[in-house]
Amino acid sequence: MWKYFALLIALHTLGRLPLAVLYRICDLAGELLFLLAPRLRRRVIDNMRHVLGPAASRGEVRRAARKVFRNVARYYADLITIPRLDVREFYERRLHYWGFDEYIAPALGEGRGVIVVSCHFGSPELAIQGLIPLGVKALCLTEPLSPPRLSRLVDRLRSSQGHTFLPVSVGSVKAAIRYLKRGGLVALMGDRDVEGPRALLPFLGQETYIPTGPVELAMRTGAVLVPVFSYRRDGRIEVVVEPPLDLERTGSVEEDVRLNTLRFLHCFERHLRRDPGQWIVMEAIWDSQPGEGRR
């Protein structure tokens, strides 16, 4: 419950500060957390070691890990400022979308459902808000948090500009299917094993559990599956929309899900290796033990 009250206090205090000041506070908080939270530090350093590879020096890995901590702190700053965000001004001054007109707009214009699959990379919170000035309201499925009161607060902040955020559940997946069939846009994450179906797949050279829900949903509904990744660029947000994945269909559903999820992973790996410190994940990605995956 303390997390709920901490976020609520931050929302009504820090959330009112100028963004430049808030980001400076977040950078300091990220550096302190890196120094004072050894368990989190070990997890992030292990993740960065996988991204950078065995040839990277200890200094390179630690610098990338420190950047992760600072960007995680800025992620929460983005979250608590969403209700007061002027989305039009944000879109015009601080955001740039590469590939929206080429890969997302045409599908929506044809009335086709679109699944945007992204990762905890850069600022997904602000990237999705940047769709509002473009006239696109998304249905986004999120990780259920504990306590549920915290989950409701976080999703209420995310939804404050017009999107709909729902924690992953059977009911929310059904809502997503209906939304796609009406030609809407659904946003999902594809880099962390949180809820729903998963598979043990090679990721950055080592197997771990990866969510397969985005691919399964696209194959079930016929929606266009579009990988999207965001970057922080000196106070600005750059969003890169990749070409839609041309989903392979061999006749084996399980194999098709595996192959197409791997194609998304390979796409993400390119961005991840380009700027590892953008990956705002503090969980140990490769500590899962092999076993039967959820279906």
Whether residue 63 has pLDDT greater than 60: yes
pLDDT of residue 289: 41
The model's pLDDT over 82-111, given as tens digits with 9 standing for 90+, comes to: 999 999 999 999 999 999 999 999 999 999
pLDDT of residue 292: 38
Residues 6+ apart with CB under 8 A from 56: 49
The model's pLDDT over 204-252, given as tens digits with 9 standing for 90+, comes to: 999 999 999 999 999 999 999 999 999 999 889 999 999 999 998 988 9
pLDDT of residue 193: 67
Structure tokens given for 207:
């197997």
Structure tokens given for 204:
């950055």
Residue with more model confidence, 52 or 196: 52
Over residues 57-71, mean pLDDT:
98
pLDDT of residue 98: 96
Cα separation, 105 vs 127, in Å, equals 16
Cα separation, 55 vs 99, in Å, equals 34
Q: How many CB atoms lie within 10 A of CB 165?
A: 21
Whether residue 7 has pLDDT greater than 50: yes
pLDDT of residue 181: 96
In this structure, what is the dihedral angle of CA atoms 93, 270, 191, 55, given to the nearest 10 degrees?
A: -120
Confidence of residue 295 (pLDDT cuts 50, 70, 90): very low
For CA atoms 45, 61, 97, 23, the dihedral sign is positive
Amino acid (one-letter) located at 247 = L
**Beta carbons of 116 and 229 less than 8 angstroms apart:** no
Query: Residue 118 pairs with which residues in a beta bridge?
Result: 189
Q: Give this prediction's pTM.
A: 0.93
Which DSSP string corresponds to 155-210?
A: HHHHHTTS-EEEESSHHHHHHHHHHHHTT-EEEEE-SS--SS-EEEEEETTEEEEE
Over residues 12-35, mean pLDDT:
96
Whether residue 68 has pLDDT greater than 90: yes
CA angle 18-85-190, nearest 5°?
A: 110
pLDDT of residue 1: 82
- Mean model confidence pLDDT for the chain: 94
Confidence of residue 294 (pLDDT cuts 50, 70, 90): very low
Three-state DSSP state, 224: strand
Cα separation, 270 vs 272, in Å, equals 6
Residue 226: its H or E element: strand 224-233
Whether residue 290 has pLDDT greater than 60: no
State the DSSP code for 237. Answer: E
Over residues 261-288, mean pLDDT:
94
Alpha helices in the chain (DSSP H): 2-12, 19-36, 38-52, 58-81, 87-93, 105-109, 124-129, 148-159, 170-181, 213-221, 253-274
Over residues 172-197, mean pLDDT:
92
With 0-12 / 13-18 / 19 or more C-beta atoms within 10 angstroms meaning exposed / middle / buried, residue 206 is: exposed
Cα separation, 40 vs 42, in Å, equals 5
Cα separation, 162 vs 138, in Å, equals 8
Residues 6+ apart with CB under 8 A from 192: 120, 143, 211, 281, 283, 285
